[in-house]
Amino acid sequence: MIIDVNACLGHYPFRSLRFNTAEKMLGLMDRNGIDRALVSSLHAVFYRDAHRGNEELFEDTKSHGSRFIPVATVNPKYVGWERDLAEAVERWKMKIVTLVPNHHGYSLADEHGRAALTRIAQYGVPVMLMQRFEDRRQRHHWDRAEDLQVNELLEAAGAHPTLKFVLVNWLGLDGQRLVEAGLKGRCLIDFARTQVVYRKEVPKLIEALGVEAIAFGSHMPFDYVGPSLVKLANVRSLRTGDYEKIAWQNAAGFLEIEG
């Protein structure tokens, strides 16, 4: 069993993606032994009204409920966002919400970011923060969004002490700093960009936060799935690793979903 916590559906404006529809992604998951995936909508990142992307995502995934766990996207600068969030969480039962502050033009610490994080915490669902979609060294002329910064994350964690965080596609997370920010026990981190062997960022995070903090994530369909499958296989070479927890149990427990 594998649950992938780092996946998106939809078009990306700056590069062709091969497996970006529900049907195509299911085929990709089947070929790679991935049972379930958290999927957010790329359209929700780029539409002015992010919630239209949520509506599409809900429609696209509702007939594949056993495979996809849709992630709602909220733009707290857009009119009516609180009602949209309520629809996603209460009516559609979405179990997790993502924010893309650098694409929607605010920060986690300003009035918009604080309001969104507070509201998400009130619903008792985790917030997903993706550090980046692509490497900025290849950015399109119109791609102006910067990567999320570690300090911004740590400040948000401190300001919202009951909120749970799913951190995907991050590099540069220091386990001790996450502990100091109070994130031990309330964060789940994928290893799409970190290493199990050689640089050993994953065992260092496990040492600081416990193996419960680590989850499988591939960043499909942007990235090949193979890199994360290799890392998952290498988890068994770690003294501190726990294959089943990282493959799916941690994600299932954190999101309170069935495996």
Q: Which is nearer to another protein, 85 or 130 (CB)?
A: 130
Residues 210 and 88: their CA atoms lie apart, in Å, by 31
What tokens appear for 28 in the block? 């990709």
Does residue 245 bind another protein (CB under 8 A)?
Answer: no
Does residue 83 bind another protein (CB under 8 A)?
Answer: no
Does residue 243 bind another protein (CB under 8 A)?
Answer: yes
20-39 residues in contact with another protein (CB under 8 A) are: 31-34
Q: Are 241 and 235 in contact (CB under 8 A)?
A: yes
Does residue 189 bind another protein (CB under 8 A)?
Answer: no
Segment contacting another protein by CB under 8 A, of 16-24, 53-61, 103-111, 116-124? 16-24
Which one among 207, 236, 240, 256 touches another protein, defined by CB under 8 A? 236
Interface mask toward another protein for 148-187; x: CB under 8 A = ----------------------------------------
Minimum CB separation from another protein for residue 115, in Å?
A: 31
Segment contacting another protein by CB under 8 A, of 11-19, 45-53, 94-102, 122-130? 11-19
Does residue 139 bind another protein (CB under 8 A)?
Answer: yes
Residues 97 and 81: their CA atoms lie apart, in Å, by 12
Return the H-helix or E-strand segment holding 230.
helix 226-235
Q: Are 214 and 202 in contact (CB under 8 A)?
A: yes
Which one among 154, 220, 251, 255 touches another protein, defined by CB under 8 A? 220
Sorted by sequence, the CB contacts under 8 Å of residue 155 that are 6+ apart come out as 108, 109
Residues 12 and 34: their CA atoms lie apart, in Å, by 22
DSSP 8-state code for residue 137: G
User: How many residues belong to the site for another protein (CB under 8 A)?
Assistant: 46
Does residue 227 bind another protein (CB under 8 A)?
Answer: yes
* Longest pairwise C-alpha distance within the chain: 50
Sorted by sequence, the CB contacts under 8 Å of residue 172 that are 6+ apart come out as 150
Minimum CB separation from another protein for residue 175, in Å?
A: 18
Q: Which residues pair with 167 in a beta bridge?
A: 129, 189
What tokens appear for 78 in the block? 């857009």
Q: Which is nearer to another protein, 118 or 195 (CB)?
A: 195
Segment contacting another protein by CB under 8 A, of 84-92, 148-156, 173-181, 218-226? 218-226
Q: Which of 69, 66, 41 is nearest to 55 (CA)?
A: 41
Which one among 21, 107, 118, 195 touches another protein, defined by CB under 8 A? 195
Does residue 134 bind another protein (CB under 8 A)?
Answer: yes
Helix axis angle, 111-123 relative to 150-159, nearest 10°? 60
Binding site for another protein (CB under 8 A): 2, 15, 17-19, 31-34, 134-141, 192-193, 195-200, 219-237, 243, 247
